[in-house]
A and B are shown apart, each in its own frame.
Chain A
Amino acid sequence: MVAPEESMKIIVGGKFKDYPEGLRLSALIRQENVETPEYVTVALNDDFVEAAAFDEIALKEGDSVEFLYFMGGGGE
């Protein structure tokens, strides 16, 4: 018997979501279908995360993740 994967609640963009415990930040970015993921800014618990660390960071219960997107329009 394989133990069922433990799930955790994290907050993504202000909303509670269930994800498997220990999910990597890079996997979350994929699962959340982040637009132009190579140019997204990520804040984890109110601190910016460098893109190089996306693969290393394992998310924990209660973590809050924000995706900040480039928006370049306004004039023309």
Chain B
Amino acid sequence: MSFSNEQLERYSRHIILKEIGIKGQKKLSAASVLIIGAGGLGAPAALYLAAAGVGRIGIADADRVDLSNLQRQIIHGTNDLGKEKAESAAESMRAVNPETRVETHVCFVSAANIGALIAGYDFVLDGTDNFPAKFLINDACVLAKKPFSHAGIIRFRGQLMTYVPGAGPCYRCAFKEPPPPDAVPTCSQAGVVGAMAGVIGSLQAMEAVKYFTGAGELLTGALLTYDALAQEFRKIRLPRREACGVCGSNPTITAPFDYPGAVCEVAP
């Protein structure tokens, strides 16, 4: 395929970059990303990836837009209150870039459907708000050999890492298993600065763009942490864990599974 004049103009700031160019932009056009969660992290990631000209983007979320979301979920507006988040997000993405094919998945992501969901996409972006979902995405992606970006935010802190099959540790290598419910605070209990979702969600979009274009180095084998109070980023080296339950040498997890309470209690 070749780009129209309009497309050349739309993507000109990418095309001018030697790390992307026409070749990289074509890779983005041919790429597909599944964003799980149209919330704080998913909002900027979905907007930037749509704007970037990613060919096809799936957005999965079972929730509806709530007033308390709008402080950070910039893909939704006040007029979207009560709408399905996936639909509201898709409208914003299509408004930014009608060329991107947006697919909505209005569902809770669970062990029963995650395999089929991720199979349709090249890269997965975890924008969920709870540990059972984060471990489910990790396990399903590791088992399906699917690259994905993990991220989490709380208060003034955020962190992210990227899993690429055969290139470093998975989320479970570092964090083993979800903490018991309520042992570690969530954003609704502890709060989060809206811009934190913008910073970390945008970094996830950056990882996806770099994965597809091959530009630079990914956060494989590293956890990038951001402390907004100190205004400090740190890249912490992450080893693989030989005994990891899903990607180690003798894995005990051979199929995705739901942790108790994951489905009824929280939306992805």
Residues of A within 8 A of B95 (CB): none
Known: A72-B130, A73-B152. Is A46-B237 also a contact (CB below 8 A)?
yes
**A71 near B157: Cβ-Cβ < 8 Å:** yes
**Interface SS of chain B:** mixed
A27 at the interface (CB under 8 A from B): no
Q: Which of B4-12, B176-184, B212-220 contacts A (4 or more CB under 8 A)?
A: B176-184
Given A73-B152, A75-B127; 5 other pairs, CB 8 A cutoff: A69-B157, A72-B129, A72-B130, A73-B40, A73-B187
B88 at the interface (CB under 8 A from A): no
A75–B204 Cα distance when bound, in Å, is 14
Question: Interface on A for B, CB 8 Å cutoff?
Answer: 13-14, 36, 38-39, 41, 43, 46-48, 66, 68-76
Q: What is the distance, in angstroms, from B242's C-beta to the closest C-beta of chain A?
A: 10
**Interface SS of chain A:** loop
A44–B39 Cα distance when bound, in Å, is 34
Question: Interface on B for A, CB 8 Å cutoff?
Answer: 37-42, 61, 63, 68-69, 126-131, 133-134, 151-154, 157-159, 173-176, 179, 183-184, 186-188, 190, 192, 197, 200-201, 223, 234, 236-239, 241, 267-268
- Summed over the interface, the residue pairs from A and B with CB atoms below 8 Å come to a total of 97
The listed residue with most B CB atoms (<10 A of its CB), out of A39, A47, A68, A76, is A76
A70–B150 Cα distance when bound, in Å, is 12
The listed residue with most B CB atoms (<10 A of its CB), out of A36, A66, A70, is A70
Can you list 9 pairs linking A and B with CB atoms under 8 Å apart?
A36-B179, A66-B236, A68-B223, A72-B131, A73-B129, A74-B40, A75-B37, A75-B38, A76-B39
**B239 near A43: Cβ-Cβ < 8 Å:** yes
**B179 near A70: Cβ-Cβ < 8 Å:** yes
A48 in complex: contacting residue of B130, B174, B187, CB < 8 Å = B174
Residues of A within 8 A of B38 (CB): 75
**A48 near B241: Cβ-Cβ < 8 Å:** yes
Residues of A within 8 A of B186 (CB): 72-73
Residues of A within 8 A of B37 (CB): 74-75
Residues of B within 8 A of A41 (CB): 174-176
